[in-house]
Each structure stands twice: as C-alpha cells, then as structure tokens.
Amino acid sequence: MAAHFSSGNRREVVMGLKILCCLFAFLVPLCNGGRVSTSFQNLEVQKHLKRLNKPPLKSIKSPDGDVIDCVHISHQPAFEHPLLGNHTVQMRPNYHPEGLFDESKVSTPSESSGGTSPITQLWHVNGRCPEGTIPIRRTSSKDLLRASSIQNYGKKNHKTFPQPKSADPDLINQGGHQIWILGGTFAEDLNSIEAGWQVSPDLYGDNNTRLFTYWTSDSYQATGCYNLLCSGFIQINNEIAMGASIYPLSGYHKSQYDISILVWKDPKEGNWWMQFGNNQVLGYWPAFLFSYLTDSASMIEWGGEVVNSESDGQHTTTQMGSGHFPEEGFGKSSYFRNIQIVDGSNNLRAPKDVNTFTEQSNCYDVQLGKNGDWGNFFYFGGPGRNPNCP
C-alpha cells in the first residue's frame, strides 16, 4: 500500500521538495499479553518520562492539547549519546546547497486553480520559544502506554520492513517514507534518514498531521527513533517542534498549503542537515551516527505509505494523502513538487533515472509530471478500500 519514487543516482546525496499531506499510519499492538505489576509499570513510565522530558525554561499549551517545552539547547536528548558528551554544537552549516527554486515565481499547473501557501505549526498560536532554547513536544504517560512496550516507544518495528539484499531500486518495493535517504542493506545495516508529514494515532494519540523525522543505522533494529525521542539528532532551531501539528491544512477543492523540506550533507563536517520551509534550518544528524551515509546516499525515495492492519483479508479504509486519486489533479489530489537532489558539487538539480511504483493502483496510485513552474512533480494517493480495492 505504497506509492513512491526511487532514484538510483549513486553519488547524489539529498533533495528538497514541496509536499501536501501524505497520510502515514504506523500501527503497533497495544499489548503483548501476560501480566505486569502496575506499580512497577508506573515506576518505569515515570523514569522514562523523566529521561524524555527535560526541565523547560518555558512551556506553551497548544490548542490541540500538546504541551511544547522550551528546553535549553544544551539539555536536549541528543547529548545523552555517549559520543556527544563533549560535542560542540554546530550552529549553522558550512555549506548550503545552491540552486533552490525561486518560490516567488512558482504558480500552480493551472493558473485558474489558485496558488499555494506556506504553513507553520499550531502551537505558535499561543507563543514562541526564546533564543537559546529548542521546542520539544512533551511526552505523556498515555503516549508511553500506547506503545507495545516502554522501550519500543518512538521506534519502528524492524519486522514490518522488507528484507531485500541491498538498497537497490529494483529490490525495494514496499514502504514509501515521504523523503527516504538510504545507504547499506536492509538485512542488518541499513542507514536511513526520513522526514515528512505523518498521521500516527499510536505515537501521538490523535489524527493530527504532524512534522516528523526518523533515523536508523542498523535497519531499525536498535538505533534511531522518531523526532527527538532518543539521542542522535541535534536541533538548533527555536521555531519548529518535531512531532508537533502542522497548521493550516489543505482542503478538497479549497485552499492549498504545502511545506518545503530539504535534507543535505555538509561536505566539510559530514553532518546531515535538515531545513523546514525556505529558511528554518532545524539541525543535523552527526556524521558518526552512520556508516554507509558517511560519504553519500545510494538511493533516495519520495512517496506515501499506509499500513494495512486489517486481519480479515480486506484492505484498510485508511486514506493516503487527500484520499483522492492523482488524476483529479490540483486542489483535490496530494502532490510533491519541485523535487531536486543535491549532487557531488553541492548543487541542487533535477533527479535522473526516476522510477515509480505502487503496490495496488486501485487503492492508491501515482502520476508524475514536469513543467517550468513545478519542475519535477507528481500527484499521488487514494481512498484505500473501495469497490475496485476490496
């Protein structure tokens, strides 16, 4: 149940893009059976919450019920990593990719369809974090108790991913991840950086559309996590909270909103940087976290993913994107636009050797295109279960 793009360029490291509401659902069991002492479980929950929720200098209540804690930049979870004890935070990248699209000149595929607008995060309605801090979504006990185990909270299930022999476009045929930057093999040592939008009731407890990141250096076995739920990613930005709700959202045949995400590798320090929007550099994944991504990525994918948790053999009714097929076009179907990759000279350019894939085109589909305003783009998504997708 995925629709995604694959790029086989071996020395090209990253790309930037615009996206509209691709629906993600990572569904994990709520319990594993057996009996657990309630008092012991409560103690473990409180210990884990203390580790995740750092003492804030300021807290902001978001209209969606989230609490955003403004934590001193030096107290963020990243520095619990044993190799980051004496790390000096890099407050800006040494290099920024050249050749971004001029957003002031971008229009829609049909001038009569109306334009697109940038979006931000819902918690900004009630305040901002001061300089020298970073915003972190506060984890609650309910968040932890929804996970299959406290230790697995914020992590993907390794067993849910395919196990091809290498990160080759012809072998990877499942699971789009919006932006998926890959190196290594799926069997045991896959390096992956992922970013985009997701809807995950198990992780967040609601159906809100949220900004997310993920990383792993061992094929989702022991390393990595979503957002800032483990040590690794170092955030420097005080404006954007990973895991927080994105606002406003596009509507069917209504106003359209999109975001820009850029991930690239600093050729001097080797760190992988992420930017949200046109100027919000969020932070970086230190180079030492990875093996295969130390030099470059072997493949890049863009697309959407929906997990089918139905046990009766039927397809899930979960929608991807807007829930409408790509042929409906702008204002109705979800899209990626201005897809670019960063080459070995640190220049952004159009990708080559792009292939498309969808598991069940009657459930979710994808259509690509190219023009002067949107560059390389594609529409994607669908309703899931329908008369043609039982």
In a domain, 208, yes or no: yes
In a domain, 13, yes or no: yes
Calculate the average pLDDT of the chain: 83
pTM (whole model) above 0.85? no
Mean pLDDT value of segment 267-296: 93
Asked whether residue 55 carries a pLDDT value surpassing 90, the answer given is yes
Write down the pLDDT at residue 307.
80
Write down the pLDDT at residue 173.
32
Asked if 64 contacts 208 with a C-beta cutoff of 8 angstroms, the reply is: yes
In this predicted model, what pLDDT tens digit does every residue of 330-364 receive, in sequence order?
999 999 999 999 998 889 999 988 889 998 999 99
Asked whether residue 31 carries a pLDDT value surpassing 70, the answer given is no
> How many separate domains does the chain show?
1
In a domain, 217, yes or no: yes
In this predicted model, what pLDDT tens digit does every residue of 358-371 receive, in sequence order?
989 999 999 999 99
Task: Tally the residues of the chain.
Answer: 390
Three-state secondary-structure class, residue 126: helix
Grade residue 109 by pLDDT with cuts at 50, 70 and 90. Answer: low
In this predicted model, what pLDDT tens digit does every residue of 302-329 receive, in sequence order?
999 988 776 777 899 999 999 999 999 9
Asked whether residue 27 carries a pLDDT value surpassing 60, the answer given is no
Q: Is 115 exposed, middle or buried (0-12, 13-18, 19+ CB in 10 A)?
A: exposed
Write down the pLDDT at residue 309.
73
Q: Is 85 exposed, middle or buried (0-12, 13-18, 19+ CB in 10 A)?
A: exposed
Catalytic residue chosen out of the listed positions 103, 188, 194, 328: 194
Active site annotation includes 194:
yes
In a domain, 294, yes or no: yes
In a domain, 390, yes or no: no
Q: Is 352 exposed, middle or buried (0-12, 13-18, 19+ CB in 10 A)?
A: exposed
In this predicted model, what pLDDT tens digit does every residue of 110-141 receive, in sequence order?
433 445 667 789 999 999 999 999 999 999 99
In a domain, 387, yes or no: no
Query: Encoding tokens for residue 131?
Result: 């300089």
How far apart CA 75 and CA 213 sit, in angstroms, is 20
In a domain, 328, yes or no: yes
Catalytic residue chosen out of the listed positions 12, 103, 111, 305: 305
Asked whether residue 107 carries a pLDDT value surpassing 90, the answer given is no
Three-state secondary-structure class, residue 326: helix
Bigger pLDDT: 67 vs 103: 67
Could you list the residue range(s) of the whole structural domain that residue 85 is in?
Answer: 2-381
Bigger pLDDT: 45 vs 113: 45
Handedness of CA 225, 231, 235, 241 (dihedral sign): positive
Mean pLDDT value of segment 174-190: 75
| Residues contacting residue 274 through CB under 8 Å, at least 6 positions apart | 195, 213, 261, 262, 263, 281, 282, 283, 284, 285
In a domain, 314, yes or no: yes
Mean pLDDT value of segment 270-287: 94
Write down the pLDDT at residue 19.
34
